Structure 1
Amino acid sequence: MDSQRSFLIIALAIVSFFLWQEWQKDYGPQPAVAPTQVSASSTGTADGGMASLQLESPETAAVQAATASSQLVKVITDTLELQIDTRGGNIVSLKLPQYALTKDSAEPYVLMRQLAGFEYVAQSGLIARDGPDRTESPLYQATNTEYRLSGDGTLTVPLRLEHNGMQIEKRFIFTAGKYDVRVEHYIVNNSTEVKTVQPFQHLRQNIDNGESSSMFMPIYRGAAFGSSEERYKKYDFSDMQKNNLNVSTQAGWVAMLEHYFVSAWIPDQQASNQLYSRITGGNKGVIGALGPVVDIDPGQSVTLGSTFYAGPKIQDKLAELANGLDLTVDYGFLWFISQFLFWLLTKIQLVVSNWGLAIICITLIVKGAMFPLTKIQYESMAKMRNLKPKIEELQARYKDDRQKMGPAMMELYRKEKVNPMGGCLPMLIQMPIFLALYWVFVESVELRHAPFMLWITDLSAQDPYYVLPVLFGISMFLMQKLTPMQVTDPLQQKLMMWMPVAFSVFFLWFPSGLVLYWFVSNLISLAQMLYIYRGMEKKGLHTRKA
């Protein structure tokens, strides 16, 4: 089949186009949308509906009431450095000391912050009829202004409040080595009346903070949620501007994503929760969860808890916290292939202790597993090349009768035991693997700043000297020379000639780990070609153009 090389070009072009579409859809610049004005709804009630969650008033009050009477409580663990504002008991700053801001930087990665013109905070509290957050953010009292967790174990940071006959203790419970924090409201009703409260948790962030996203080095900033109906669904800021999220679900979770990192609220997984979103203050996106209404009898106490996660997208840890939370490591529609490849990659890395060597090893495994199909592909191409004179004879005989030409060609293929599509099947199988590995290298935080050797110090970033893309182009050119096709169309000839250059340029911005995979894959393919062609030539099949 003379057009198999053309099929290769078309297949790669289609894959490239879909990659570009996915980048643009998820990470590319979004059109400006006029923000929806959300007015403060009715005051808190005990009906459990969305009207009971008053978003505007408490948050506005939190800003206006940040007087000298409030203070910041600093908490330091081995994984987190954060600040809690006693006004509302909200997390207003969070750093990740185990992750550098940039490669070789001494500064930790800043996930949450509250700056002039921008804020990204985690808020939680109690609303409904007797909730202290119903009309304004309450002022908690803290025993200390700094807490530090040394060694193993846990650390509890308590904030206390007396409100309307209730004693409330808001507890932040930290565990060494973990990024998830248990947040509890311990409430004691000291009055003679039944008290009604309703817990909420949400994340609040400016829609635009000036960060840009490159098509080839994506930085996704937006929200996501999981429910009993949908394990994972993105809900970006443009979605918030169009419609308010309003989903009732058993369990569930809400999150804000920032490429390799995520912050998430996981409410009580045994309760029925309501997931919501809002645009507040004109340019701030909010996504959160509202728990069920709770009645507290006089003299009784209750503990209402949730989990807050802020840190890297470590898949197994996220999967333990909530169903579907691990899918925030967004591998796209081929996630099931990507997850298996990532699992295999991590197992190999444990042995070789180098992510670059692990990529080379997984390439050897993939190419080795595909060798039987590769053998079929090259043998089919060689047989098709040997059939060219007979095919041309049939084309000349039936040039004026295409209805007879088709059956005659199929009879020829049957007689010679040749499958005209045999050279295409391995390509069709390899393309999903290529796409799946692409998302592994782009999305997996384990590869962030992971060095290989020499000048490759970050496998998740592009090659700084473009050596790997150039080597890839050379290897692709050698593959063309080794298996030239008898294409007579001048346009196809030019396309084939420039294909290595075009894809080398295309790969300039790809993560170096992915280019390393494709370059090593080409080297293995060259070795397999030589081995297969040598065996076919011994059988009398011509493997090269005369």
Structure 2
Amino acid sequence: MESQRNLLLIGLLVVSFLLWQQWQTDKQPQPVATQAAQSGFVPEASQTAAATADVPNGQDSAQARSLIKVKSDLLELTIDPLGGDIVDAKLLAQAKTLDSEEPFTLLEQGPAHLYIAQSGLIGPNGPDADQAGRPLYQVSGDSFALADGSDELVVPMSYTNAQGDQFTKRFVLKRGSYAVQVEYQIQNQQASPLQVQFYGQLKQSTATPEGQQSGHMMASAYRGAAYSSDEQRYKKVTFDEMTEKNLAVTTPGGWVGMLQHYFVTAWAGQPEQKNEFYSRSINGHKEAIIGLKEPMVTVAANDKAVVGATLWVGPKLQDEMATVANHLDLTVDYGWLWFIAQPLFKLLKFLHSLVSNWGVAIILITLIVRGGMYPLTKAQYTSMAKMKLLQPKLTALRERFGDDRQKMSQAMMELYKEEKVNPLGGCFPILIQMPIFIALYWTLMESVELRHAPFALWITDLSVKDPYYVLPLLMGASMWFIQKMSPSTVTDPMQQKVMQLMPIVFTFMFLWFPAGLTLYWLVSNLVTITQQTLIYRQLEKKGLHTRKK
């Protein structure tokens, strides 16, 4: 019994340590960079022109232009006709804060924070490789909107170079989608071939902007870059790693992206061609770039060609992202227990489709999980009861063998075998519940569906802490009650004090946990109390007295 208590204590401490370690990893301050600042991306095919896909400093003010506003049912984009970059993106279906009428801004080009999606054509004949600067596109208007009854919005922007070659950059937005198709229609008007190469990149300030700092002690999420290749389904590239080494990966298809809590922006390359991924740390490491280059395209004399890629700019919606690019849904990062978290989320989503309340869905998934574990739970408490009955015999063995540990262990194993008792039988449900708890923690942390999702009464957002700390206090009280119900043979005063402190420690931890997770743990404890009561009554009928005196 004492060994079971020790294992329980170790298990709880392991859970605490893993969550605390993850929080420390995400929250630790970034080291001061010592490497010299690198310039923006310079294409190898145009070194002589000193071309850059990164907008040169000071160039913006050289040519007057009006920004282009593009609006679909889900997105409101602002496009700079100089280069055709997306310099602002608002998510119309996602509120900035709870009960706010202002939409969430994902991309922005402000004085305090920069986060933009750039794209262009480089190579020997690419307009973005011109030494004079990036192309200024001509647009028929400065405002475009998805018409009622229409499922698609196309925004064309045209540019003609000095040789008469025509480049039409098109943004295609579809109703109900956060995926934006960015493509170039190229018309070669010369008598010689024309060579261009498409690139798409994301440029962002490395400092965390105001409003994105987590309000929870434990609830931190990854912010940085990532990519997917044929060798790495999902690989993070932190801003610190960019200062140490530039990314250089060649892969069929794949994607590159910038991630933050609940949202992602990603360029997805064409799956049938080999793309080059790259990263840069620029401007004294204050800004980071990650991007992709598609293969060089040769347009024959007086011929046409189309190149481009897909840009996802929106919330982390797994089903929708999976249709845009392979493994883009893995940006919903469930950590090393993803194989448990993914089925849990699918079950949670199914339950929500039945009850239309995420809080109720969490309660139902708790009942299902704990109900499925009931046979193990019953075996646990039966084993604990039998272990308690064996305590007098174990005490006699200790007195008989004294300090002879080998003989003592041998005698104990024979006693367990004779009485058909497994000394570790009470630990299996705990070992199973630990990874489920951690997996559900990341499920509730990463699922944008729970952002601003109400439950009942004062719980108006399950993704943040209980504002009045009612759920954590109830959870702590239920944990204390379970401890009082459970039989114990611990005689060591230090162990007794540690066990008594566990409800207090966990209550303190849960003060900052998302309300959805605290709700799960509270309901789980209530189920445990109910199951314990039923099991103890059955055991008492068999003559096994387990309750504390």
The alpha carbon displacement at 1:62 in A equals 6.5
- Structure 1 pair 66–466 and aligned structure 2 pair: CA distance change class (3 A): same
Change (3 A) 1:52 1:474: farther
| 1:447-466 matched pairs, under 5 angstroms | 447-466=450-469
SS at match of 1:295: strand
Q: Could you tell which deviates more after superposition, 477-486 or 196-205?
A: 477-486
Matches within 5 A, 1:457-476: 457-476=460-479
1:94-493 matches, cutoff 5 A: 94-134=89-129, 135=131, 136-151=133-148, 152-163=150-161, 164-211=163-210, 212-213=213-214, 215-282=217-284, 283-493=286-496
Deviations 1:462-515 (A, max 9, x none): 000000000001101110111131211111111111211111011000000000
Q: How far off its partner does 1:33 sit? A: 2.3
Contact 1:36 1:279 (8 Å CA) reproduced: no
Cα distance in 2, alignment partners of residues 504 and 85 from structure 1: 51
1:93 aligns with 2:88: yes
1:232-286 deviations in whole A, cap 9, x for unaligned? Answer: 0111101111110000101010001111000010111111001000012222100
Which TM-score applies when normalising by structure 1? 0.96
Residues 91/39 of structure 1: CA separation in 2 closer, same or farther (3 Å cut): closer
The whole-number CA distance in structure 2 between the counterparts of 1:440 and 1:523 is 21
Instruction: Note closer, same or farther for the CA distance 1:116–1:41 as it changes in structure 2 (3 Å cut).
Output: closer
Q: Which amino acid aligns with 2:7?
A: F
Aligned AA for 1:18? L
2:9 aligns with: 9
- CA shift digits 1:54-105 (9 cap, x unpaired): 77x4434364233453221100111001100000000000101111111111
Q: Aligned partners of 1:36, 1:93: CA distance in 2, in Å?
A: 30
State the shift of 1:209 in Å.
Answer: 4.5
- Is residue 81 of structure 1 aligned with residue 76 of structure 2? yes
Tell me which moved more, 285-294 or 536-545.
536-545
- Does the aligned pair in 1 maintain the 2:243–2:281 contact within 8 Å? yes
Which of residues 69, 84, 107 in structure 1 aligns to 2:64?
A: 69
- CA shift, 1:3, in A, is 3.3
Q: 1:520 to 1:92 in 2, by over 3 A?
A: same
Give the drift of 1:125: 0.5
Letter in 2 for 1:180: A
For 2:200, give the aligned amino acid: Q
**Alpha-carbon distance in 2 for matches of 1:490, 1:140:** 78
Q: Which runs of 5+ in 1 are unaligned?
A: none
Which 10-residue stretch deviates more, 490-499 or 64-73? Answer: 64-73
Task: Decide whether aligned partners of structure 1 residues 42 and 242 sit closer, same or farther in structure 2, where only a CA change above 3 A counts.
Answer: closer
- Residue 249 and residue 43 in structure 1: after superposition, are their counterparts in 2 closer, same or farther (change >3 A)? closer
Residues 133-177 of structure 1, C-alpha deviation per residue, up to 9 Å, x if partnerless? 113211111111000003341010000001233110000001011
Distance 1:103 1:42 in 2: 42
> Contact 2:42 / 2:53 at 8 angstroms: preserved in 1?
no
SS in 2 for 1:345: helix
Equivalent pair of 1:203/1:286 in contact (CA under 8 Å): yes
Check whether the contact 2:380–2:425 (CA below 8 A) recurs between aligned residues. yes
Which deviates the most, 23-32 or 446-455?
A: 23-32
Counterpart AA for 2:156: P
Identity of matched residues, %: 51
Separation of aligned partners in 2, 1:314 and 1:155: 22
More off after superposition, 210-219 vs 90-99: 210-219
Output the amino acid matched with 2:136: L
- RMSD across aligned C-alpha pairs, in angstroms? 1.7
**C-alpha displacement of 1:106:** 1.5
| Secondary structure of the corresponding residue to residue 45 of structure 2 | coil
Distance in 2 between residues matched to 1:58 and 1:528, nearest whole Å: 63
286-295 vs 162-171, which moves further:
162-171
- After alignment, is 491-500 or 283-292 more displaced? 491-500
**Whole-angstrom CA distance in 1 between matches of 2:42 and 2:249:** 20
| 2:508 equivalent in structure 1 | 505
CA distance in 1, matches of 2:326, 2:430: 35
Deviation at 1:220, TM superposition (A): 3.1
- Residue identity matched to 2:490: V
- Given the superposition, is the C-alpha separation of residues 139 and 44 from structure 1 closer, same or farther in structure 2, using an over 3 Å criterion? farther
SS in 1 for 2:54: helix
SS in 2 for 1:277: strand
Contact preservation (8 Å) 2:90, 2:104: yes
* Amino acid paired to 2:135: P
Q: Does 1:23 align with 2:23?
A: yes
Residue by residue over 1:298-350, the C-alpha shift from the partner in whole angstroms, topping out at 9 and shown as x without a partner, is 01100002101100000011111111110100000001111100000000001
Deviations 1:29-66 (A, max 9, x none): 323323542246766527xxxx79977x4434364233
324-333 vs 280-289, greater mean Cα deviation: 280-289
Contact 1:318 1:326 in 2 (8 A): yes
CA–CA distance in structure 1, aligned partners of residues 308 and 185 of structure 2: 9
Q: Deviations over 1:348-390 (max 9, x none)?
A: 0010110000000000000000000000000000000000000
Letter in 1 for 2:99: D
Partner AA of 2:458 in structure 1: W
**In structure 2, distance between residues paired with 1:324 and 1:53:** 37
The amino acid that maps onto 1:155 is L
Question: Amino acid of the residue matched to residue 420 of structure 1?
Answer: P
Unaligned runs of 5+ in 2: none
Question: Which secondary structure state, in structure 2, belongs to the residue aligned with residue 14 of structure 1?
Answer: helix
**8 Å contact kept, 1:124–1:199:** yes
Shift of 1:223: 0.6
